[in-house]
Amino acid sequence: MAKSTTPRAAKNARTNRKAGRRSPLASVALIVIGLVATGGAYAMFTSSATANTATANSTLTSDGAKLFAANCATCHGMNLQGTKDGPTLIGVGAASVDFQVGTGRMPLAASGPQAEQKPVQFTANQIKALYTYVASFAPGPGIPDKQYLGGNGDAAKGAVLFRTNCAMCHNVAGAGGALTEGKYAPSLAGVSAKHVIEAMETGPQNMPVFNDNNLTPADKANIVTYLKYLDKNPSPGGLDLGNLGPVSEGLFLWIFGLGTIVGITIWLTAKAN
């Protein structure tokens, strides 16, 4: 015969099951402990990373100050205030220093209509130290983001933008050209994407400044893509004559074309005689 269960026994069984069940407050406590532990670990990690970054920047700034004093302060002043021989560098930003020093234009070899490109005088780490030091004085254009330097934009749009904004000085093929008073727009063949964008953002020499309100970062990336396309694709018409357009082509025809005609005429006349 089956054993019956009294009401008291059933109540005791339910009480025992409830006693073994986890309290809702325990779950909340576990969540709070997990959040506190995660937050603490993250705070410790970020604090350590921030401290390391601050230490690295402090070292770069210190090294940059020494390099600046030894190589730049004569013209730009010990406090970047500028002198009669050089402009102030306060507020020019890291991009300007990286362009000028990274292309060898600075330190200036000799005074002239404009700074000429020459072999770079400093290592990559020294250049970084210099622009970190200069940028520590006041905000300015920074080093371009790597996502805009890969030449992965739209070359067709870049060509339109280049013809509209740059070709009047640099030539439609980026070959450069003469300006007034002994100045010139340099060739853009083989120039790194970083230096192209830095030049647009800082306006070195006679070049205007193209900030993000004039040309967006995507626009600049498209121009870089167009210039890289020109570097990789030679002239389909054969000898490009320096990509200088009608000037070099006309000179070629005048010297060689007309010269050939004159030579043939003289040869025919001499043979007849």
Query: Which ranges of the chain would DSSP assign to H, the alpha helix?
Result: 7-20, 24-71, 73-76, 93-102, 124-135, 155-165, 167-170, 193-202, 217-232, 246-252, 258-272
248 and 164 together in one domain = yes
Same domain, 119 and 226: no
Model confidence pLDDT, tens digit, residues 143-166: 999 999 999 999 999 999 999 999
| CA distance linking residue 257 with residue 261, whole number of Å | 6
Query: Do 155 and 201 share a structural domain?
Result: yes
How much is the pLDDT for 113?
Answer: 87
Last residue of a domain, one of 143, 175, 201: 143
Residue 240 in domain: yes
* pLDDT band (50, 70, 90) for residue 236: low
Q: Token pair of 261, please?
A: 């005609």
Query: Residues 226-253: what's their mean pLDDT?
Result: 74
Average pLDDT, the chain: 84
Residues 172 and 190 in one domain: yes
User: 213-230 pLDDT, tens per residue?
Assistant: 999 999 999 999 999 999
> Band of the pLDDT at 238, cuts 50, 70, 90?
low
Query: Do the Cβ atoms of 174 and 188 come closer than 8 Å?
Result: yes
The boundaries of the domain holding residue 119 are 38-143
Q: How many domains does the chain have?
A: 2
pLDDT digits (tens, 9 = 90+) for 22-52: 566 667 777 778 777 777 766 666 555 444 5
Is 13's pLDDT higher than 60? no
Q: Examine the domain organization and report whether 66 and 132 are in the same domain.
A: yes
What CATH number does residue 102 fall under? 1.10.760
Of 96, 93, 122, nearest in space to 107 by CA: 122
What is residue 86's DSSP assignment?
B
